[in-house]
Amino acid sequence: MIHVENLYKKFGKNQVLSGLDLTIDQGGIFAILGPNGSGKTTLIKAILGMVIPNEGSISVLNTTIKNKWKYRQEINYLPQIANFPGNLKVRELIAMIKDIRQKPSEEENLIALFGLEPFLDKKLSNLSGGTKQKVNIVLTFMFNSPLIVLDEPTTGLDPLALIHLKELIFKEKAKGKTFLITSHIMQFVEEVSDEVVYLLEGKIYFKGSIEQLKTKTEETTFEHAIAAISTYNHHD
């Protein structure tokens, strides 16, 4: 599904990714974890072609993505910060994205699910952070694509919306889709993810199931296992 080889990325003097290799197979939910600034978002943006790597190659759905853009038709992406043009109404934004993607979409169910009907004719600049995130989720899930990338999907969501989001993720996973998720909420990661990819200093430090991680770190809870793996390195 996704194959990343020897990826290097530097922002100014800051080496974010240094020789990262990663293979993601089709189907299942992969959580990308790591401390702040470990390169999670950079990796995701590189896969989406928004960040141009200094070195290395990425292929999505068996084609290298360099200088290509059509493959993004097969990816649904939820950005970390819902930065929408403030002068658009929610309805206009949804219509615009539909117009760009030219794909069948099912936004009505999603709008109803997250209770967004009263906001459809409001401008995006007047929405609260959580409501913006709900709009963000609707935009991400309304198309049927084999790869779904979620960057911090839980930010600002109320408990009910969080439950809906999890249901949505499981429903799509049952259809055989692949998810890449980053999150700092360990409880959420533990609930949804099949496999964990741990990034540290621009490399994959660990990749495997949560059980494997617990055995490796000899911890009983996932949260402590993650904490242990991040402190491991500091002692070396």
Partner 1 sequence: MRSRWSYVYFLFYLLLGFVLLFLNNELSKAVITLMNVIIVLVPLIGTIFGVMYYYNSKEFTELLLAQPIKRSSIFLGQYLGVAGSLTMSLVLGLGIPFVLYGLFQSNAIWDFSLLLITGAFLTLIFTALAFNIALSNENKIKGFGYAVLAWLFLAVIYDGLFLMSLIVFEEYPLDSLSLAATMFNPIDLSRTLILLKLDISALLGYTGAIFKQFFGTGLGLVISICMLLLWTVLPIWRLGHIAKRKDF
Residue from 69, 159, 174, 220 binding partner 1 (CB under 8 A): 69
Of 52 and 112, the one with the shorter C-beta distance to partner 1 is 52
Give the pair of three-digit tokens for residue 166. 């999890």
Question: Which residues inside 33-62 make contact with partner 1, applying CB under 8 A?
Answer: 45, 48-52
Question: Which residues inside 145-164 make contact with partner 1, applying CB under 8 A?
Answer: none
The verdict on 170 binding partner 1 (CB under 8 A) reads: no
| Shortest separation between residue 64's beta carbon and partner 1, angstroms | 16
Residue from 34, 39, 79, 202 binding partner 1 (CB under 8 A): 79
Supply the DSSP symbol for 90.
H
The verdict on 198 binding partner 1 (CB under 8 A) reads: no
Of 1 and 47, the one with the shorter C-beta distance to partner 1 is 47
Residue from 57, 63, 64, 73 binding partner 1 (CB under 8 A): 73
How many degrees, rounded to 5, is the angle at CA 201 between CA 198 and CA 207? 20
Residue from 70, 175, 234, 235 binding partner 1 (CB under 8 A): 70
Packing angle between helix 129-141 and helix 159-174, nearest 10 degrees?
10
- Cα-Cα end-to-end distance for the chain: 34
Give the pair of three-digit tokens for residue 32. 């990308």
The verdict on 64 binding partner 1 (CB under 8 A) reads: no
Q: Which residue intervals of 123-197 are DSSP H helices?
A: 129-141, 159-174, 186-192
Give the pair of three-digit tokens for residue 8. 């290097």
Which residues, 6 or more positions from 77, have their beta carbon under 8 angstroms from its beta carbon?
44, 48, 140, 148, 149, 151
- Cα distances (angstroms) measured from residue 120 to each of 91, 105, 155: 5, 17, 21
| Shortest separation between residue 72's beta carbon and partner 1, angstroms | 4
Of 101 and 224, the one with the shorter C-beta distance to partner 1 is 101
Question: Which residues inside 80-119 make contact with partner 1, applying CB under 8 A?
Answer: 83-87, 97, 100-101
Residues forming contacts to partner 1 in the complex (CB under 8 A) are 11, 45, 48-52, 67, 69-73, 75, 77, 79, 83-87, 97, 100-101
